[in-house]
Amino acid sequence: MKVSAQNSLRVTLSRLLAGLIGLIFLILGLGFLTLPDIFAMGFSVQPMTIQGLNAIRGNFGGLFLGMSFFCFLGAATKRWSWLIVPMVFLLIIIIGRLISLGLDGFFATGTRIVILEVFLLIVLSVSARVLALKAGTNENGLKVLEIINFKTLIAAVIITCIPVLLILSQKKIGMGLINSLATQAMGSDIMAGWPDGVHVALCGSGSPIADPRRTSACTAVIAGKNLYLVDIGPGSERKLELMRLNPGKVKAVFLTHFHSDHIGDLGELMLKRWSGGSKKNPLDVFGPTGVETVVKGFNQVYSLDTQYRILHHGPETVPPAGAGGLARSFDFREGKDEVVIIAEEGLKITAFKVDHAPVKPAVGYRFDYKGRSVVISGDTVSTPSLFKQARGADLLVMEALQPAMVRILREVGEKIGRTNISKIAGDILNYHASPEDAAKIAARAGARHLLLTHILPPLPVSELKPAFMGEAKKYYKGPITIGEDGLLFSLPAGNKKIMKKWLL
Ligand SMILES: [Zn+2]
Ligand SMILES: [Zn+2]
């Protein structure tokens, strides 16, 4: 009687422990499913694009929810064999971690995680053992020794050999991989397969504050076969290349104003366009008055490097006349707030005044091509000229700062004694538009899709997006996209479609 009571207590305890581990897996699984970015951060994993988020929700969520399901099933049915499933997964995870500690390098947190997982595995094993004994000589479940025979041993050896062979062949695999990556990067023209029309790609959707998913201001506009850039903030030239948009093909750059987060990579772009495309003419850099100073400065800064490259690669490869940029300044007629700066091959580009005071001049650009239209606001508060230009646009690319979030930055800065940061966070509130302002403009102008860019503050995890959006959806019923680097919008000529894709 006493022995039976003891057994019953052991069984209850084992079921409780299996259930508790199931609960831990359930929380992790539901977390990955609903808050993928936040839970991934806990595992030092960061999705590169929406595809990464999809993988985190699906793969991580699925793994933990699956393990949780079988823990609960074992606990509920008292059948030890169900616990084999999470045990096998835990064992494989532990083996993977040990391989990583050996190959990638040792780190203290990694060791602690392995210890925790080994602990969970031991607890599950003990629980399974207790449940098996209670069932009496394993009749209820799988007999482990039964599956160990000659065939399974051969299979185990083969399975072990595959990763060993792959690890030993890493050098060969690397050389093959670099070959195919280089062919992919240099050989194909990503724009070649795109339909005639306007395509808008975000090569920089961030602000001056570092954001792991967004470099500073840069919007690529492809009209027909021509590639134009609106602004070229720090880091955006590399982003352009990662998106497989060839800097050697950039036909012209349009600057909205001369804040550093809009011009920082102009020198890099001019250099890459020249050397990558063997250009014989300097890059056209359009902008309002002041663009001459900016272009002259970058030309001067890069003048020594230009000489080195001509000496090294020869004038055939890098024609001296094509280095640097050529400022193409424009102005507005008295009483006018818009000016057409390009009208050729069915493309019209209009510059218009915006309000980014005290920064003057500051402009936005409207692209019209074969019945499709894109308006890029530049940095601005809500202003009548922007509303006028955005009228009927297919895509309104609008800068956005969320005031409620930036006020928090200001308060945090104040609290921790970073008074300069706090002052700047307070100052910028009055010369940017909020998502709500952007939504109101899009709604009044009848724009068909609103794309928010120049995202401020940074949104390092996607769970911040609803808070960033604020009340914007109340004011605009059309689709609103919060910009991320690599996003591409295609507006084919001759129809009304707006298609969204990723270039990263
Ligand atoms: Zn600005
Ligand atoms: Zn800016």
Q: How confident is the model at residue 301 (pLDDT cuts 50, 70, 90)?
A: very high
pTM value > 0.85: yes
Q: What is the residue-wise DSSP string for 123-177?
A: HHHHHHHHHHHHHSTTTTS--GGGG-SHHHHHHHHHHHHHHHHHHHTHHHHHHHH
β-strands 363-369, 499-502 pairing: unpaired
Residue spans of alpha helices (H) in 169-234? 170-182
38-47, 418-427, 434-443: which is most confident? 434-443
- Window from 168-177, 196-205, 254-263, 486-495 with minimum mean pLDDT: 168-177
Question: Is a pLDDT exceeding 90 seen at residue 426?
Answer: no
Whole-number pLDDT of residue 51: 87
Terminal Cα distance for the chain, rounded = 67
State what percent of residues in the chain have pLDDT above 90. Answer: 73
Q: Residue 203 carries which side chain, given as an amino acid letter? A: C
Distance CA 60, CA 28 (A): 9
Nearest to 398 by CA among 202, 255, 234: 202
Q: What is the residue-wise DSSP string for 333-353?
A: -TT-SEEEEEEETTEEEEEEE
Question: Is a pLDDT exceeding 80 seen at residue 138?
Answer: no
Q: What are phi and psi of 338, to 5 degrees?
A: -145, 155
Among the bound ligands, the one closest to the CA of 217: 2
Among the bound ligands, the one closest to the CA of 231: 2
Distance CA 257, CA 501 (A): 28
Mean pLDDT of 45-62: 92
**Do the Cβ atoms of 375 and 397 come closer than 8 Å?**
yes
For the chain, where do the domains classified as CATH 3.60.15.10 start and end? 196-502
State what percent of residues in the chain have pLDDT above 70. Answer: 97
Nearest to 388 by CA among 357, 359, 361, 364: 364
Among the bound ligands, the one closest to the CA of 454: 2
Q: What is the CA(45)–ligand 2 centre distance, in A? A: 29
Whole-number pLDDT of residue 142: 53
Q: What is the CA(432)–ligand 1 centre distance, in A? A: 8
The model's pLDDT over 174-228, given as tens digits with 9 standing for 90+, comes to 988 988 888 877 767 788 889 999 999 999 999 999 998 999 999 999 998 899 9
The model's pLDDT over 7-18, given as tens digits with 9 standing for 90+, comes to 788 899 999 999
Six-digit token string for 350: 């209009």
Among the bound ligands, the one closest to the CA of 381: 1
Among the bound ligands, the one closest to the CA of 233: 2
Q: What is the CA(294)–ligand 2 centre distance, in A? A: 16
Question: Is a pLDDT exceeding 90 seen at residue 248?
Answer: yes
Distance CA 198, CA 357 (A): 31
Residue 156 CA: distances (Å) to CA of 48, 147, 169, 257: 35, 12, 20, 64
Whole-number pLDDT of residue 235: 97
Q: What is the CA(350)–ligand 2 centre distance, in A? A: 20
Residue appearing with tokens 């970015």: 37
Residue 365 CA: distances (Å) to CA of 116, 256, 349, 373: 56, 8, 7, 11
Question: Is a pLDDT exceeding 90 seen at residue 170?
Answer: no
Whole-number pLDDT of residue 250: 96
Catalytic residues, by residue number, are: 261
Q: How confident is the model at residue 143 (pLDDT cuts 50, 70, 90)?
A: low
Q: What is the CA(217)–ligand 2 centre distance, in A? A: 7
**Do the Cβ atoms of 448 and 170 come closer than 8 Å?**
no
Distance CA 101, CA 250 (A): 45
Four-way CATH pick for 196-502: 1.10.10.10, 3.60.15.10, 3.40.190.170, 3.30.300.30: 3.60.15.10
Q: Residue 392 carries which side chain, given as an amino acid letter? A: G
Distance CA 332, CA 288 (A): 9
Residue 338 burial (C-beta neighbours within 10 Å; 0-12, 13-18, 19+)? middle
Whole-number pLDDT of residue 136: 60
Whole-number pLDDT of residue 206: 97
Q: Which residues contact 334 (CB under 8 A, 6 or more apart)?
A: none
Q: What is the CA(401)–ligand 2 centre distance, in A? A: 10
- In 10 A of CB 282, how many CB atoms? 18
Q: What is the CA(79)–ligand 2 centre distance, in A? A: 62
What residues have their beta carbon closer than 5 A to ion ligand 1?
A: 259, 379
**Do the Cβ atoms of 188 and 438 come closer than 8 Å?**
no
Question: Is a pLDDT exceeding 70 seen at residue 3?
Answer: no
Q: What is the CA(23)–ligand 2 centre distance, in A? A: 46
Give the DSSP H or E segment for 369: strand 363-369
Q: What is the CA(187)–ligand 2 centre distance, in A? A: 34
Question: Is a pLDDT exceeding 70 seen at residue 145?
Answer: no
Mean pLDDT of all residues belonging to the chain:
92
Q: What is the CA(380)–ligand 1 centre distance, in A? A: 8
- In 10 A of CB 415, how many CB atoms? 9
Question: Is a pLDDT exceeding 60 seen at residue 460?
Answer: yes
Residue predicted with more confidence, 500 or 140 = 500
**Do the Cβ atoms of 296 and 337 come closer than 8 Å?**
no
Q: How confident is the model at residue 168 (pLDDT cuts 50, 70, 90)?
A: confident
Distance CA 398, CA 256 (A): 12
Among the bound ligands, the one closest to the CA of 216: 2
